[in-house]
Structures are given as structure tokens and as C-alpha cells.
Chains A and B, each alone.
Chain A
């Protein structure tokens, strides 16, 4: 089975390219809708508040757990559990009178013993963050994303011709935007690790774009007499195997993080997964298209090489 021959013929006809572009635009549109209507579900890292995580020795229903917990907590709270009903999370807003989870969990445990119930609760993680520092972190995070984008833009412009840099950046922004849209639609909690994965996506999504751009540039030096569309098709074809294998292995390792690494890295794994999958898609469909759209001449690099040779 030869990957390159099978898929590409169909993939790169004008119709399929048209479809890919529309798909990308639809993604962006949906993402924007999601972000404006639902907004991101910012976790306590950015909003401030209390999170208490504890396990129960047996699974009990959510309503039962709520009834156990209500008498001991006198602020508003939000109780969630995992699918086994044994790992519980309680979220409370920041400006309440602080009660030590160790204390009320102990009380609850004592009560359960005296009630003769065969249930024991164990505290896993108790986290508090002040709302002011939360908004500081959000600002910092946004700045970091921005500066990463700028640094990358600078580096790309230096290494490649501006049209390639533009293509890569547009693909990158598409990725980030759509991932944020996915986070908005699914209301997955956005915390510091999610931010870290967004930054990681920036780096990885670029990998694919760079590999394709390098190939296009190389082929342009040789096949400068062909149309740009053909050259791009050829480049994509020749790098397709590599793209799929790398994305495949990376996506698989992320899946294994998703499966094993527990509650705290769920958002992280999902964000990375979507980001890298999208990155591959956008590298093929967006990065490779922009040079053509901006009228890059197929013999650009050949001419440049000639000029360089003459000046030597």
C-alpha cells in the first residue's frame, strides 16, 4: 500500500482544495461563535477560588454526597465527580470565609463512623487562589501567547520568504482559534496546564508547516518551470508519509496521557490532541495555499539562487 499514490490524486483536485478551505473557514466561524456565546470556562487558576478534591472508598451517588457535604460547608459550592463516582471535586468562589477541608472532611469521616456507614473519605488536593493573582496570571498567559506568536513570526520571516511565514502564521492562528473554540463549546476547564498546552501547540503545529514549506522551496528551485500548484501538490505528496507518521505517533502518545494521567491532565491532553490534529490539517490546507494565493512566482527561488551565484 502506497500512501502517496492513493490519497493525493483525489485530495488535491481543485474541488477538494475548495472543500478544505471551506472547512477551515467553517471551523473558524464556529469557534468564534462558541467563544462569544459561551465563553471560556476559566478555572480557578485564573478566576480565583477554592478547589477541594477527595476520594470516597465506595462510589455513591452525587445527590447523596451533596447531602453529606451541605451541612459542613456554608458557602455556595459546585460538586462534580468522575465517572466512577469515587473522585470528587468541590469548587467554591474566592471571597468566602475559609474553612479548612482537612477539618470538615475529618468531621464528616467521624460522623460516617458513628452512623455506622462503611464509607471513608480521603483528601487528595486542596487548592486556593486569590482572585487578584488569578487575573494577573491570565494577563501573563495572554502576553506569553502573544510574544510566542511574535517571536515565531520574526524567526519565520528571517528563515523563509514572507509569504511562507504568512502562511504558517495564518495556519497557526487558525489552530489556536479553533482549539479555543472547542474549549468554549465543550466548556472544559481552562487552567494553567491548558495554557501550557496551547503554547506547546504553537510549537508543534509549526513543525508540519515548516516541513512542507521547506519542501516547496526546494522543489521550486528545481522545478521552476512548472506551475506553483503542481509544485505544491508534489511537495505535499512527498511529505505526506512523514506528516502522518509523526502526527500519528504524537497523537498516540497524547492519547496515552489522556487515558492514564488522571484528572489534572484531562484538559491538557484534549487540548494538545485537537491542536496537533488541527495543526496537521491546517499545514496541508492553509500553509500550502497562501503562497499560491499571494501570487508567489514558481521561479522565485531559482531566480534568487541565480542572483546569488552571479554576485559571488
Chain B
């Protein structure tokens, strides 16, 4: 009883306060990991009258009302059905017309959903969900368990490369077409132009003056063009460098946003869409099993554009073998389409009903009111990569229709081949059009089983490493070893707590390996200090001074040693993605927590209990 006042009088209250606050926050964060979300399914019965069809061809929307009648659900029957198929489910909540069952694993969740959909189908709508098992105090603090990476969760990884160079070249081609139009209208002949591979516009002529004239027209009308090379009869133009990088950034941002929207439409929560490197987009879809559906939805590169005919212009082939020439500038593009629904026109022929946004509506109105009786061409294009890896655009004329009246934001494309074609077209349009072609450069499907076994194995390794380190330190350093072990425990709690609390940190399998490594290296700090203490005690100081001197003198060495590992960990963090990034994160954070617990925490502990420590003097 007498000892208590002396222990606390030796350590500064401030030190103690820091340690306790950090510990409390981070151990609460670590505790959140014990309350994982439980897989569940929501079964609700509702009668909705036939799927609401939006009729665009007539003025104003008409939407069928959804009925509010809900039938009660026989949950007992459903539970028995699940039981018969070896699915253990527990009833968690009931409302009128809605039942929630909890299941023991995600696999059972999937099986349950499949089973119930097969058996009950139209009667219910079945939705996967998850139940938050955290106690209220954790929820209030918004502390959640660690986010798991794809290699621990199972799921699908897709990496797309965005070809903004292609889009830039297309822009240049458009400018070239406009230039040709201008030259024709002003009867300037003799200028040959070509867009060459690297995104350069090449002008060749016999008359130097005409060249100059054309060039200045181009520079005046398109501010971002620059002359790259100038010879008497030849000129090369390109977009300015800063415009190119601005354009590239814009394309990357647009593509990321679009892909993110597409994924949200797939209904996948917890997906990750990240820019990777200069021109790639990384998409992680945890929990998904089959990538074909996801790929189809995400990777469509279809665009729908509307053109007017022109005497000289871009050539398109019609399916019946004829040729068309269209004005290269579209009346409006797929970007201006807000919504597209498949349906039928008055004669029952499959059609797609379009709704344009304000800009599109204006453009359509001004064009159609001035061009009644003029045909409008609907062109469907898709990007693909040919055998040489070059991006090519394949365009197909869907429709050539004469404009009968002034149209604005709502109209239909009719005369499609079949209802399925109409649906597919509507879906492609709704997916939105990409501004630049994307190609898939990597995909990976990781099964949930593998993910689960990775988690188990990873933590087995951690447990073993931790246990053996504890035993060794306790044995070798005896009482000081106990302090080392305590600080190691604090280290681990802080590390897991930090990983849970910091946004954007994800645990991966190499990340767990990093945890194990940190445990192994964390003792280094303590060992350095303890060996130092032994050394200092040779100088015939009393044990307290030996301890203090030990901590002080070892600090610089510890700092140096840890900084170098930190440097490599940071470099790894900056170039790595996915699993490697997880490893780098655990390494970086591990170094910080090791220093905190190895120096700060164990110092406080040693000071508090120094009387109980015997230091064996080495000769």
C-alpha cells in the first residue's frame, strides 16, 4: 500500500495521461473488430402493379401507381424451408410485410437468397443486407472494424486503361474536318491534311501563302493548337502541352466518375474505384462472384450520336451496302441523353424512348425546327482493340429518319430489330458514354473461400509469432522482459486500432504479414534499450540512472534505424496498389506504434517499477 504513491510520483502525470488517452481510443477502435457485420436477408412482400413504364412519346409523364397493400409473410414456413436445405437462419426482426433473417456466413446468405428466389419468386422481393452488431457506444463513436482488402474478402478486381490519346486524336480529326469544310466554302484548294499517329495534324501544300493562311485560321479558331514544326511546304500542328495534360486529367476524371456511377447501378456497396498510375482505373468489387455481369455493365464503351447528312463528310456504311456521308459534328451526343427506355411505338414496333437534358433539348429543337424534311442519322459506336492492340471504333447506323416536326427533349428512335435489341440499346445508352475508350488490362476473381482461409492463416501466423516473442522476451530478460511484453501488447492494440480508425486503410494478406513482421521488429527497440541499460549499469551508477541513461542513449540509434525502414515503407506505399499498399501501410504504422510503445510506454512502465528490476551486470 505504501508503494502506490511512490510509483506514481516517479512518472509524470502528463506522460500517463497521454498513454491512457491513446490506449483508450485505440483499444475501443480495436474492440470494434470483434463486432463484425452479420450477413442477413430482408424479405418483403409487396404488390406493385406492372413495372412502371414511362411513356415519353406523349407529352408529360405517366407513371403507374405502386399499390400499398402488403401481405403478411409466413416466416416459420420460410425458416423450415431453409432448414431443410441445411441453411441455419435466425429470425431477427418482423414488421408487417417484412422479415429479416440472419445467417452464419456469406455463403449461406447467397444460398438462402438463391433458394428463396427459386421457390417464392414473385411473391417477395429478397434483398441481401448486413446487421450491425456493434454495441451502441461503439456506434456513437462511429468506430468500425477494419476494412478488408479483396484478397481477404473475396471479390473481383478490374483494372482499365483509359486511352485519352485516342480521344485527343478524335478531337484533332474533328478540327481537321471543320478545316476542310472551311477550305471548301472559301474555295481554297491544294492543301492536303492528315492526322498522323502521335496526335499531330499534318498540312502539305504547294503554296506557302495558302499554308500560312490556313494555319492562322486554325490558330485563331482553336486556341489550344500550336505549330510544332514549320517547313516551307509542310506544317505540323498539335495541341499545346498544358492543354494536353489538362485534357488527360479531365478524361481520367470523367471516366472514373462514369465507372463509379455504373458500379452504383449494379448495386454493389463497398466498391472501390481508384485512379492507378497515370492512365489506369482500378475497380474493386468485394463480394461479387461472377465478373461477366460486372464487366458488361462497367466496360461498355458504346456511344450513341446523332448526325445530319452532308455532301462531303465522314463516310458510313449502311447495312444494305449503301454509303452515307455525315457532317462530322454531331447534332448532339450521348452525353446529352438523360434517360433511355425501351418500348414500342404506336404500331407495336420496338423502339427506344429518349429523354434529353436541357442542352440536348435546345440543340435538338433548334436543329429540327430549321430542318424539317431533312434526314437525321442515328449512329451507334463501340470501341474495341484489334489484333495489334490499336483502339478502333466501330460505328453502325441504327436509323435514318426524316424529321417530321420540331422535336425537343423527348422523342423515340423506332424501327429497331427486336425487343431485345431495343432493351440492349436502351441499356447501353443508360450506362452513359465514355469520353475515351477503355480497355481491360487486368482482372482477378478471388473466391470468398480463399479469402477466408487467407484470414485464418494470416492470423495463425500472427498468433504464433506473437506468442513465441512473448515467451522469449519473458525468458531472456525476465522482469524487464515483462515490460517489453506489455509494450508489445500495447503496440499491437495501437496498430490494429489505428488500422481500424484511419479512413482509407485496408487490411490485406501482405498487410497481415506486415503485422507479423512488426511484432518481430518491435522487440528491437526494447532490446536496444535493455542492452544499453546493461551497459550503463557497468558504469557503477544506480539502477535508476542506468535505466534513464539507457533510454536516452539508445534513442538516437532507434530513431535512425526506424527512419530507414520508414523511408522504404513510404516509397512502397507510393508505388503500390492493393495488397502491396496494405503491406506498406502496416509497415509504416507499425514503425510508428513500435516507437511509441517501445520508447514511451515502456519507459513509463520501467520508471514506475524500477525497484523490482534487477539488472545483471555484464563484464
Beyond A207-B524, A257-B513, whether A128 also contacts B444 by CB under 8 A is: yes
Q: Report B555-572 residues with CB < 8 Å from chain A CB.
A: 556-557, 560-561, 563-569, 571-572
Q: Report A129-159 residues with CB < 8 Å from chain B CB.
A: 129-130, 132-133, 136, 140-141, 143-144, 147-148, 151-152, 155-156, 159
10 residue pairs bridging A and B, Cβ less than 8 Å apart = A4-B618, A125-B446, A192-B579, A202-B568, A214-B556, A252-B468, A253-B461, A256-B461, A260-B460, A260-B464
| A-B CB proximity, top 3 nearest | A203-B565, A253-B520, A253-B465
Cβ of B447: which chain A residues have Cβ within 8 Å of it? 122-125
B458 within 8 A of A: yes
Residue in contact with B457 in the complex, picked from A4, A136, A262, CB distance below 8 Å: A262
Beyond A124-B450, A262-B457, whether A204 also contacts B468 by CB under 8 A is: no
B100 within 8 A of A: no
A101 to B156 Cα, complex, angstroms? 14
Chain A interface SS verdict (over half): helix
B445 touches A246 (CB 8 A): no
Cβ of A256: which chain B residues have Cβ within 8 Å of it? 460-461, 464-465, 468, 516
B445 touches A210 (CB 8 A): no
Cβ of B587: which chain A residues have Cβ within 8 Å of it? 200, 203
User: Residue-by-residue, is B449-481 near A (CB-CB < 8 Å gives 1, otherwise 0)?
Assistant: 110011001101100110011001000100000
Cβ of A101: which chain B residues have Cβ within 8 Å of it? 445
A127 within 8 A of B: yes
| Min CB gap B436→A, angstroms | 17
Cβ of B161: which chain A residues have Cβ within 8 Å of it? 130, 133
B571 touches A199 (CB 8 A): yes
B563 touches A253 (CB 8 A): no
Cβ of B446: which chain A residues have Cβ within 8 Å of it? 124-125
Cβ of A214: which chain B residues have Cβ within 8 Å of it? 556-557, 560
A108 to B556 Cα, complex, angstroms? 62
Report the tally of A-B residue pairs with Cβ distances under 8 A.
Answer: 204
A283 to B584 Cα, complex, angstroms? 24
Cβ of A196: which chain B residues have Cβ within 8 Å of it? 510, 572, 576, 580, 583-584
User: Can you name the residue of chain A whose Cβ is closest to the Cβ of B535?
Assistant: A238
User: Can you name the residue of chain A whose Cβ is closest to the Cβ of B276?
Assistant: A133
Which of B464, B509, B523, B567 has most chain A Cβ within 10 Å? B567
Residue in contact with B290 in the complex, picked from A102, A202, A254, CB distance below 8 Å: A102
A24 to B215 Cα, complex, angstroms? 67
User: Can you name the residue of chain A whose Cβ is closest to the Cβ of B558?
Assistant: A211
Residue in contact with B292 in the complex, picked from A100, A136, A210, A272, CB distance below 8 Å: A100
Chain B interface bracket (under 10, 10 to 19, 20 to 34, 35 or more)? 35 or more
Cβ of A155: which chain B residues have Cβ within 8 Å of it? 563-564, 567
16 additional A-B pairs beyond A152-B568, A249-B521, A265-B510, beta carbons within 8 Å, are: A2-B619, A123-B445, A126-B443, A130-B441, A133-B442, A140-B575, A199-B568, A199-B572, A204-B565, A245-B476, A250-B520, A253-B469, A256-B468, A257-B517, A259-B461, A261-B457
User: Can you name the residue of chain B whose Cβ is closest to the Cβ of A248?
Assistant: B472
User: Can you name the residue of chain A whose Cβ is closest to the Cβ of B519?
Assistant: A253
A129 to B280 Cα, complex, angstroms? 13
B527 within 8 A of A: yes
A206 within 8 A of B: yes
B445 touches A125 (CB 8 A): yes
A265 to B514 Cα, complex, angstroms? 11
B579 touches A206 (CB 8 A): no
A238 to B533 Cα, complex, angstroms? 12
Beyond A192-B580, A196-B583, whether A125 also contacts B450 by CB under 8 A is: yes
A133 to B521 Cα, complex, angstroms? 34
A192 to B581 Cα, complex, angstroms? 11
Cβ of B572: which chain A residues have Cβ within 8 Å of it? 144, 196, 199-200
Cβ of B567: which chain A residues have Cβ within 8 Å of it? 148, 151-152, 155, 203
A249 touches B561 (CB 8 A): no
Q: Report A214-250 residues with CB < 8 Å from chain B CB.
A: 214-215, 238-239, 241-242, 245-246, 248-250
B571 touches A206 (CB 8 A): no
A102 to B443 Cα, complex, angstroms? 13
| Min CB gap B270→A, angstroms | 20
Cβ of B453: which chain A residues have Cβ within 8 Å of it? 262
B583 touches A203 (CB 8 A): no
B445 touches A102 (CB 8 A): yes
Q: Report B484-521 residues with CB < 8 Å from chain A CB.
A: 509-510, 512-513, 516-517, 519-521
User: Can you name the residue of chain A whose Cβ is closest to the Cβ of B460?
Assistant: A260
Q: Report B248-280 residues with CB < 8 Å from chain A CB.
A: 277, 280
Cβ of A210: which chain B residues have Cβ within 8 Å of it? 557, 560-561, 564
A268 within 8 A of B: yes
Cβ of B557: which chain A residues have Cβ within 8 Å of it? 210-211, 214-215
Q: Report B415-464 residues with CB < 8 Å from chain A CB.
A: 440-447, 449-450, 453-454, 457-458, 460-461, 464
Which of A127, A200, A253 has most chain B Cβ within 10 Å? A253
Cβ of B510: which chain A residues have Cβ within 8 Å of it? 193, 196, 265, 268
A129 to B583 Cα, complex, angstroms? 21
A259 to B516 Cα, complex, angstroms? 13
A264 within 8 A of B: yes
| Min CB gap B471→A, angstroms | 11
Cβ of B460: which chain A residues have Cβ within 8 Å of it? 256, 260
Beyond A203-B569, A210-B557, whether A127 also contacts B457 by CB under 8 A is: no
B528 within 8 A of A: yes
Cβ of B556: which chain A residues have Cβ within 8 Å of it? 214
Cβ of B468: which chain A residues have Cβ within 8 Å of it? 249, 252-253, 256
B531 within 8 A of A: yes
B531 touches A241 (CB 8 A): yes
Beyond A125-B445, A199-B568, A206-B564, whether A265 also contacts B472 by CB under 8 A is: no
| Min CB gap B54→A, angstroms | 36
User: Can you name the residue of chain A whose Cβ is closest to the Cβ of B157?
Assistant: A127
Cβ of B563: which chain A residues have Cβ within 8 Å of it? 155
A2 touches B442 (CB 8 A): no
Residue in contact with A261 in the complex, picked from B277, B472, B513, B524, CB distance below 8 Å: B513
Which of A100, A193, A250 has most chain B Cβ within 10 Å? A250
Cβ of A257: which chain B residues have Cβ within 8 Å of it? 461, 465, 513, 516-517
A123 to B448 Cα, complex, angstroms? 10
B159 within 8 A of A: yes
Q: Report B36-76 residues with CB < 8 Å from chain A CB.
A: none
B151 within 8 A of A: yes
A261 touches B531 (CB 8 A): no
Q: Report A141-187 residues with CB < 8 Å from chain B CB.
A: 141, 143-144, 147-148, 151-152, 155-156, 159
Beyond A199-B572, A252-B465, whether A207 also contacts B450 by CB under 8 A is: no
Cβ of A192: which chain B residues have Cβ within 8 Å of it? 576, 579-580
A177 to B583 Cα, complex, angstroms? 23
| Min CB gap B423→A, angstroms | 24
A152 touches B513 (CB 8 A): no
B521 touches A261 (CB 8 A): no
Beyond A2-B618, A124-B446, A262-B453, whether A252 also contacts B571 by CB under 8 A is: no
Cβ of A254: which chain B residues have Cβ within 8 Å of it? 516-517, 520
Q: Report B266-322 residues with CB < 8 Å from chain A CB.
A: 277, 280, 290, 292
A269 to B516 Cα, complex, angstroms? 11
A249 to B518 Cα, complex, angstroms? 10
Cβ of A133: which chain B residues have Cβ within 8 Å of it? 159, 161, 280, 441-442
B580 touches A132 (CB 8 A): no
User: Can you name the residue of chain B whose Cβ is closest to the Cβ of A103?
Assistant: B292
B571 touches A211 (CB 8 A): no
User: Can you name the residue of chain B whose Cβ is closest to the Cβ of A272?
Assistant: B517
A132 touches B575 (CB 8 A): no
Cβ of B519: which chain A residues have Cβ within 8 Å of it? 253
B457 touches A260 (CB 8 A): yes
A152 touches B560 (CB 8 A): no
A126 touches B464 (CB 8 A): no
A241 to B441 Cα, complex, angstroms? 50
| Min CB gap A3→B, angstroms | 10
Beyond A144-B575, A193-B580, A206-B561, whether A249 also contacts B523 by CB under 8 A is: yes
